[in-house]
Structure 1
């Protein structure tokens, strides 16, 4: 979102009508490069969009990335590394930070990566406790972030939450378009050269020029067509983004690290070949998108249609909310994970279909991992659960007198794979969600905890807060801390739950999220902290372990 960032550039006065588009590449079959023709406007084409499905992998490369968790709680800082493994083309990338409680936008901006480029940034806590982003990286960004400490914005959070709501969450990263590295352009009097945009973002002797007079008119344009996009240097987005993260606590000499989850646009559900998505470059402007917003997002707080304050288990939303839309979308709200990328755009149901495809790709039915709480080594364990697509099914409208859930119609899975497409069940609906302390919750079906000697607990103990007998996911990114009723490994506070005595000292567990046989879209890992009691004075004896969750579909 970056309300503060958008305000920096929202008044620059670049020409363009209040419009926006999702553009599929219209090139020839099997085309790779764009076609640029200065004599015949009809021949200007991006490479053919041929993706129709999405594939999800942890630790791979993809078109889009999800960092399941960031935190600045309890002295933590989070560092993100974003790599363009494409050594031919640049990438026009959108980065968005969302809050842990209800996925509210906190900060977003654009990163223009040259071929083989790496961009890094750190998220820390400011003196007033607000999360802030800083980078010394020279990769081009819109707006410029090098050497600027940018605070996260609280204007879409409840006033009662304020800065606290910025300290945990997750990160969405999108390849909006490739920046072609081919010699196809006329720049000045030189023909068959690289585009001015490519030249503006390409490192020269280790330094990216970041020529603002070239970048800003292109990246802030509201009404690109396929012709203007091609002539500007764009091509349909391809795979190649790789992401890594680490959480470090200097005072506690502990580090956790992992790889971002990669989402790849592929040819089909049966052909996992990486393909080309739609062009989805939207300007980083505070101007309102207007009446066409339903064509670009499934977020129920931004939409005007196909939403309701209740939703059946079959996915039918009804009873329109009193305020439509709850939030007036700005251009900087786009793209998001529901913006049509592998489906044809131009309709109000296209983003719902996109969100349904991604939610289905992320959906799992069981979550398994280890835990340790052995007092002899001061062991602590947190399990992180991140649901990056829940926002597109249900969101919390703070602007009502009593904050209430707003649902998007549809976004369903198959309850019976044997009859695919016949029996539909919503991932999130009025019967499986609830509100608790200003957060939307969904409850697991059941859980089982095992010690290391084959003993099992499946019932009888409760989780706190709330004394519930099943694990709950309260918040978009929630934390389950083992063997404690207070603070866990990560110092989580926004969406934390505690096992107390519900599990053994050490062992493993499995949480069932069958959810009517459609599963839930969940990512995450176990974070385990240990201390060596034999470490001598002056020697760090703290260790951090990160184990990705194991899932069944």
Structure 2
């Protein structure tokens, strides 16, 4: 049964009267940045760049966290490990290209000088970065080669850009907490937590309190693009600890409570564009298991909005990162258990990854989008000049075809080939928009394809669009600071979004 439509202020007031938190048992995208799950929408090591990541435990309890790195085509995993955070701990890492550290290989790796416990232990990682004592671990291609081939690239270059997720698996009690707690900056005994049984009674349901940040830095160019990790709160009320499988825990394991029959459910709380608080419930842990839809719901966007600046007079250029953090659960043949290149994608997506179909193909899972550009004075291009430029062959004129997409705004002469990398982040996951003006803004319509609608919640809520996150990265180049001196000024701005949710003929509530 649907709940009454309550504004945020009314919900907050009722919660205060009742002495409860209004979203204590629901998946939500926490606007304050604290949560159980952290999503970092982009990492890259292209063209001398490195990506710095950090996670902070603000809680007075120790935590076990799964750290997972996912490549940008189909979000196949390239590395994961378990991280154990002491109360009030900070963990940091640096993703870099092997070649930039004078190591052999075309891929990427993660290095860290942090002392927090990991499993596997850092003395079992690949080695130490040359000229230092810092351990590093190389990213792997096992998940998309051999029997795991998915029609995308198979080389190690595929590991060079993607996205990251951190999932709280459990809080630690007793001797487990003592083992990871730092004394003089060093954990007491990491070996205690490196072979924990998932049934250990000292593993308790994870609480909130994590926040994180990422930064893409190019030391030689002097650019630094920084962002806050997206924080999902209320993700789980049960222990999700695993050291046996790289695929668990996953974003598809959200669980927030039970319905009246004892069936596990995953509830999502989403703020509608009109300010209403929408509650959507999904079956979890049984058949069907639609728990991933609760996570997707908090990212569902009918439109993304942001600016661009490609003014040659100030040396500016712009990239947009658009990441679909849950897409693999709807398009990857391994999750869907369908034949490679065969159909079977789940809404709101249309094609499985690599599906042999018009508008798709190897290494792709295309979603048609609408592109509405404006300059700063309300001007807009004619319809026939809109779309990606040059148009990609055998695809819709405006389609985002990967899990991580980087949209560049480069003026490509008519008849010239499409760019092979973006203008700011040097991404190979690039789609280009011919900018209408030197400065302006873009409305990316994710609901342009009528097929982009979510599966219905238990109560019948249906969201239009796609589950997306990301940011605008803009760089300004000043070649005239003084003779022989060049300066870069970089900025990053999170996308804004609108949402559309319907329940039959009514607005969701």
- After TM superposition, the score normalised by the length of structure 1 is 0.68
Deviation at 1:201?
0.3
SS of the residue 1:237 aligns to: coil
Corresponding residue number in structure 1 for 2:400: 473
Whether the 8 Å contact between 1:123 and 1:134 is mirrored in structure 2 is yes
Corresponding residue number in structure 2 for 1:544: 490
The answer as to 2:246 corresponding to 1:332 is yes
Give the direction of change, closer, same or farther, for the CA distance of 1:237–1:125 in structure 2 (3 Å limit): same
Question: For this pair of structures, how many residues does the alignment match?
Answer: 405
SS of the residue 1:101 aligns to: coil
Give the direction of change, closer, same or farther, for the CA distance of 1:405–1:356 in structure 2 (3 Å limit): farther
Deviation at 1:534?
2.7
Corresponding residue number in structure 2 for 1:428: 349
Corresponding residue number in structure 2 for 1:91: 63
Q: Distance in 1 between matches of 2:366 and 2:329?
A: 15
Whether the 8 Å contact between 1:377 and 1:532 is mirrored in structure 2 is yes
Deviation at 1:458?
5.5
**Is 371-380 or 238-247 further displaced after alignment?**
371-380
The answer as to 2:498 corresponding to 1:498 is no
Map 1:103-122 to 2 at 5 A. 103-122=75-94
Give the direction of change, closer, same or farther, for the CA distance of 1:282–1:217 in structure 2 (3 Å limit): same
Corresponding residue number in structure 1 for 2:44: 71
Q: 1:533 aligns with which of 479, 482, 488?
A: 479
Deviation at 1:53?
2.2
Map 1:46-445 to 2 at 5 A. 52-57=25-30, 60-86=33-59, 88-127=60-99, 128-145=105-122, 147-158=134-145, 160-180=153-173, 195-212=174-191, 214-218=192-196, 221-222=197-198, 224=199, 228-229=200-201, 233-265=202-234, 277-283=237-243, 285=244, 331-342=245-256, 344=264, 349=286, 352-396=289-333, 403-405=340-342, 407=344, 426-430=347-351, 434-444=359-369
The answer as to 2:466 corresponding to 1:520 is yes
**Is 534-543 or 133-142 further displaced after alignment?**
534-543
Structure 1 residue runs of 5 or longer lacking an equivalent are 1-49, 181-194, 267-275, 286-330, 410-425
Whether the 8 Å contact between 2:350 and 2:366 is mirrored in structure 1 is no
Q: Distance in 1 between matches of 2:194 and 2:396?
A: 54
Give the direction of change, closer, same or farther, for the CA distance of 1:340–1:55 in structure 2 (3 Å limit): closer
Deviations 1:127-160 (A, max 9, x none): 2221101000001111123732110010122475
SS of the residue 1:341 aligns to: coil
Q: Distance in 2 between matches of 1:406 and 1:240?
A: 40
Q: Distance in 1 between matches of 2:178 and 2:246?
A: 25
SS of the residue 2:256 aligns to: coil
Q: Distance in 2 between matches of 1:99 and 1:437?
A: 16
Q: Distance in 2 between matches of 1:211 and 1:134?
A: 18
Q: Distance in 2 between matches of 1:82 and 1:351?
A: 34
Q: Distance in 2 between matches of 1:66 and 1:52?
A: 20
Whether the 8 Å contact between 1:395 and 1:407 is mirrored in structure 2 is no
Deviation at 1:260?
0.3
**Is 466-475 or 135-144 further displaced after alignment?**
466-475
Q: Distance in 2 between matches of 1:243 and 1:405?
A: 38
Q: Distance in 2 between matches of 1:73 and 1:90?
A: 35
Deviation at 1:408?
6.5
Q: Distance in 1 between matches of 2:288 and 2:345?
A: 10
Q: Distance in 1 between matches of 2:216 and 2:206?
A: 30
Q: Distance in 2 between matches of 1:157 and 1:175?
A: 26
Whether the 8 Å contact between 1:396 and 1:440 is mirrored in structure 2 is no
Deviation at 1:75?
1.3
Q: Distance in 1 between matches of 2:484 and 2:435?
A: 36
SS of the residue 1:332 aligns to: coil
Give the direction of change, closer, same or farther, for the CA distance of 1:547–1:197 in structure 2 (3 Å limit): same
SS of the residue 2:47 aligns to: helix
Deviation at 1:394?
1.3
How much is the aligned-residue C-alpha RMSD, in angstroms?
Answer: 2.8
- After TM superposition, the score normalised by the length of structure 2 is 0.74
Whether the 8 Å contact between 2:55 and 2:91 is mirrored in structure 1 is yes
Map 1:10-25 to 2 at 5 A. none
Q: Distance in 2 between matches of 1:529 and 1:351?
A: 46
SS of the residue 1:149 aligns to: strand
Whether the 8 Å contact between 1:392 and 1:408 is mirrored in structure 2 is no
SS of the residue 2:252 aligns to: coil
Structure 2 residue runs of 5 or longer lacking an equivalent are 1-22, 100-104, 124-133, 147-152, 258-263, 266-282, 412-417, 454-462, 500-509
